[in-house]
A = this chain, B = another copy of it.
Amino acid sequence: MRAGPSQEEVRRHNLGTLLRYVHIHGDTSRAELTTKLGLNRSTIGALTADLAAAGLVTERPPQQTRRAGRPSLVVRPESSQVYAYALAIEVDRLRAARVGLGGRILDRRETDRPRGMQVIDAVQPLAGFIHEMRLDVPEGARYVGGGLAVAGMVRRDDGMVRLAPTIGWVEEPVGEALSEEIGDVGPLIVGNIADVSALVEHSRGAAAGRDNVIYLYGDVGVGGGIIAGGRRVTGHGGYGGEVGHMVVNPKGRPCSCGSRGCWETEIGEYALLELAGRGHLSGREAVLDVVDAAMRGDWAAQQAVRQVGDWIGLGVGNLINIFNPEAVIFGGTLRDVYLVAAAQIRSRLNEVALPACREHVRLRTPELGNDAALIGAAELAFERLLADPLL
């Protein structure tokens, strides 16, 4: 329980709110900011001047206007001058990007990695990408920090990767190792890949404007990023959203976590490939091949997709009963499986989810596609700046 803020706290809050607005919505006229933020024109003018003086936004006249009177200046985030590094460690690949304020990807790098990589196998190429990208940073640009998204469970307080069974890591201080390898990277914040992807699909993607959202990220395993009442559900230590380890089939397959019948054992990569008679294969490409084969009419692939779709529908139905969301977004390879199994998923979901809980839910694919993980990782770094822009 906390008392209301002081005048100075209110001003800083308003600076953050204005900067966050243009960070998410891009170029915005002062007139629109006045309306959206519920502040008067002179306050908006003063706040904008402060942010411009700090090099965070610029102002310019609108390109054209047909309305009479003095046109409202347009406020623009300084995307090319204020940036963060974004990194992602996924099961099959490593990615890095330089992301400008406003969520614009300015530069990017990517490489495949064989499964079973050690921490050093991830850290060295990522550090190399950052060294490369650094060469093109314009003179005088402001670096705000780095964010790392990992397909695993991350301790909120210090970025320790507690468990990433699909990569094969247990209790690995990945953030620390990466900071050491890069050298002067400054603050590096680590998050779960489904969580950060949910964050950006919520702020600027398929779930913009919706307050109750479930983002599912699938590859070998399945992670969830959940927004309830407009805020991320992270849990006590930051480990919430492990929907892939919801047991849905107590007599089912053993799971890498040590339990049995977890949702991801029925809808993850291994299940799909095995059902399609391709149990000897693995990886993102193999999954996409099954989806393609199903679309082309291959019987075994269609059966596999249908069965996996049935289990997806069951688990999504469970989550809908728990969260009564407005949107469920299918990311990672689940996106592709969803596109070919949508009817099956809907049908099973309708059996499981209570009508009141599911009546307004929309099933969606990510609007930012695979960029969500990178933009989301950058958000981890931008968050500090947005909370208090003049800090």
* A interface residues with partner B (beta carbon < 8 Å): 1-5, 7, 9-11, 13-14, 17, 20-21, 36-39, 153, 155, 162-163, 211-212, 224, 226, 228-229, 231-243, 245-250, 257-259, 314, 317-319, 321-326, 351-357, 359-361
Chain B minimum-CB-distance residue to A314: B247
Number of copies: 2
Provided the pairs A2-B38, A37-B1, A228-B233 are in contact, do residues A322 and B17 lie with their beta carbons within 8 angstroms? no
Contacts of A353 on B, CB cut-off 8 Å? Answer: 245
Provided the pairs A39-B3, A250-B248 are in contact, do residues A243 and B322 lie with their beta carbons within 8 angstroms? yes
Contact residue among B235, B240, B248, B355 (Cβ-Cβ distance under 8 Å from A247): B248
B359 and A237: CB pair below 8 A? yes
Contact residue among B1, B228, B239, B318 (Cβ-Cβ distance under 8 Å from A240): B228
Q: A247 → chain B, closest Cβ, in Å? A: 5
Instruction: List 25 A–B pairs whose Cβ atoms lie within 8 Å, in order of A's numbering.
Output: A1-B17, A1-B20, A1-B37, A2-B17, A4-B5, A4-B11, A163-B355, A212-B240, A224-B322, A228-B228, A231-B231, A237-B356, A237-B360, A239-B356, A240-B323, A242-B322, A242-B324, A245-B352, A245-B354, A246-B321, A247-B317, A247-B318, A249-B250, A258-B351, A259-B317
Considering residues A17, A257, A355, A357, which has the most beta carbons from chain B within 10 angstroms of its beta carbon?
Answer: A357
How far apart are the CA atoms of A21 and B2 in the complex, in Å? 10
How far apart are the CA atoms of A36 and B2 in the complex, in Å? 8
Chain B minimum-CB-distance residue to A251: B251
New A-B contacts (4) at CB < 8 Å, excluding given A3-B14, A10-B10, A242-B357: A3-B38, A3-B39, A212-B240, A247-B317
B240 and A235: CB pair below 8 A? no
Contacts of A352 on B, CB cut-off 8 Å? Answer: 245, 247, 259
Contact residue among B4, B232, B317, B361 (Cβ-Cβ distance under 8 Å from A10): B4
Provided the pairs A1-B21, A3-B14 are in contact, do residues A233 and B235 lie with their beta carbons within 8 angstroms? no
How far apart are the CA atoms of A38 and B2 in the complex, in Å? 7
How far apart are the CA atoms of A248 and B247 in the complex, in Å? 7
Contact residue among B17, B36, B163 (Cβ-Cβ distance under 8 Å from A356): B163
Contact residue among B21, B241, B314, B357 (Cβ-Cβ distance under 8 Å from A250): B314
How far apart are the CA atoms of A235 and B233 in the complex, in Å? 12
Contact residue among B21, B229, B238, B241 (Cβ-Cβ distance under 8 Å from A322): B241
A324 and B250: CB pair below 8 A? no
Contacts of A322 on B, CB cut-off 8 Å? Answer: 224, 226, 233, 240-243, 246, 319, 322
Contacts of A318 on B, CB cut-off 8 Å? Answer: 245-247
How far apart are the CA atoms of A228 and B258 in the complex, in Å? 27
Closest 3 CB pairs of A and B: A235-B324, A4-B10, A242-B321
Contacts of A233 on B, CB cut-off 8 Å? Answer: 228-229, 233, 322-323
Q: A321 → chain B, closest Cβ, in Å? A: 4
Contact residue among B224, B231, B237, B325 (Cβ-Cβ distance under 8 Å from A236): B325
Contacts of A326 on B, CB cut-off 8 Å? Answer: 236
Contacts of A4 on B, CB cut-off 8 Å? Answer: 5, 9-11, 13-14, 17
A236 and B360: CB pair below 8 A? yes
